[in-house]
Structure 1
């Protein structure tokens, strides 16, 4: 099960939370093996949802979900740098999707418009690139999918020659420089359109991009990078299991609230970085 959780907070100003602070808190709550790579979870920058600051974490395995639920209860201390807050409630799911649900999805058109809501970066080792090259995107997502999907019959072929059949047909965006401990990372922020006329590869890419909407895209997804959404069309919505409650409804009442997917503030400002046109 892939589950997107929210933890409502008290005493935290989301605009003051850095990428480093986010990673420290999220890893303390969801991590079981500190040096494991890739991680079975991803984090999003804290934001206001229904008037409450919330921390959002997506878990990709049952173990990581259990770890998060065990780590947080009402009143649990949450510290982002100099900000000391508390959890108002236990983690609760905003969305939940099975791997099988995603694996059943098929595209209705051979193109996808991806909007990067927070900067995404790609590369290996100490080499970083802001360019969301189709091969880099597909390779990164395939590695995570095959690592955490427990059903090997649903794993994807990792042959890099397949990704040559995907190309970029439109792009609009810019680079943002993000400071991390000991280095500065360039990230892409904007919109890009991928196209693929090979039916088999298109189906794989479609499922991987739906996965990326939940789990993030590229490197440092545990620090809030690589949050994306897909434009409507192409059968983009994964199956969500059951009605979900908002943070305020869980913390105060059973009244349902509308989920606002916007991430507040400039990603560069939130990270203490700057924009490069």
Structure 2
């Protein structure tokens, strides 16, 4: 899997950055088929992981991604960064309305189960936990209160549930489509928007390292420098 390219190993000094089996990964991976093969897009939370990805992709030449073996074309010397953004730049003012496109099945954990319902309260809690696990320590976001969670709501949904059977035969439902979110508290909604901007790079919900949870914000235009970044191979 893509974890071979990104999880901690013995080939650099940055242990503890991406432990194998960690509940919150500082990276996500999405595969898109093309007529010539396909494109593996990887989002990473730190520059070190981008360097690790580049180095290992060139050295390995191929990886297993689920049931598919991917071979990198030798004519491509390095994976190609397509968007980067500084962590502080994710925190910007926003209107209390936002449309999110869920491009691959997105699923949220509910205890031992998963759900395709991408309700804003659950997303707020899930993405806050992800931020706390992978963001630099000087960019903290507080855990939401019940009142803050209740201030968010859905105003429009257009999409469907896709049921995915994993290689281990586990069945996972996920949502694909568009959801428009609104908020009654401007500060809480700005925080929610910041977390969703992070999700453009690292995914939303569970199993993002397996291709779930790829999202884009409507009219999103990420700047081209910084630390959180998309890379394609």
Which of the residues 87, 101, 112 maps onto 2:89? 101
Partner of 1:251: none
Q: Secondary structure at the match of 1:37?
A: coil
- 1:157 and 1:188 mapped to 2: Cα distance? 27
Say if 1:203 and 1:28 are closer, same or farther in 2 by CA, change over 3 A. Answer: same
- 2:70 and 2:31 mapped to 1: Cα distance? 16
Q: Which has the larger helix fraction?
A: 1
TM-score (norm 2): 0.83
Partner of 1:238: 222
- 1:132 and 1:56 mapped to 2: Cα distance? 23
Q: Secondary structure at the match of 2:191?
A: helix
Partner of 1:261: none
| Deviation larger for 57-66 or 171-180 | 57-66
Point out where structure 2 has 5 or more consecutive residues left out of the alignment: 9-18
Q: Report whether the alignment pairs 1:195 with 2:182.
A: yes
Q: Secondary structure at the match of 1:72?
A: helix
Partner of 2:56: 71
- 2:45 and 2:132 mapped to 1: Cα distance? 11
* Displaced runs of 4 or more, over 3 A: 46-49, 78-84
Aligned residue pairs total: 215
Say if 1:167 and 1:48 are closer, same or farther in 2 by CA, change over 3 A. Answer: same
- 1:141 and 1:189 mapped to 2: Cα distance? 18
Alpha-carbon offset, residue 205 of structure 1: 1.1
- 1:169 and 1:135 mapped to 2: Cα distance? 14
What root-mean-square deviation, in Å, do the aligned CA atoms of Structure 1 and Structure 2 show? Answer: 2.5
- 2:6 and 2:37 mapped to 1: Cα distance? 21
TM-score (norm 1): 0.70
Q: Report whether the alignment pairs 1:229 with 2:216.
A: yes
Say if 1:217 and 1:90 are closer, same or farther in 2 by CA, change over 3 A. Answer: same
C-alpha contact 1:173 1:188 (8 A) present in aligned 2: yes
- 1:128 and 1:212 mapped to 2: Cα distance? 18
Q: Secondary structure at the match of 2:109?
A: strand
Partner of 1:91: 79
Which of the residues 141, 158, 173 maps onto 2:127? 141
Can you list the C-alpha shifts for 1:106-134, whole angstroms capped at 9, x where unaligned? 11x21011111111001144311110011
- 2:189 and 2:34 mapped to 1: Cα distance? 36
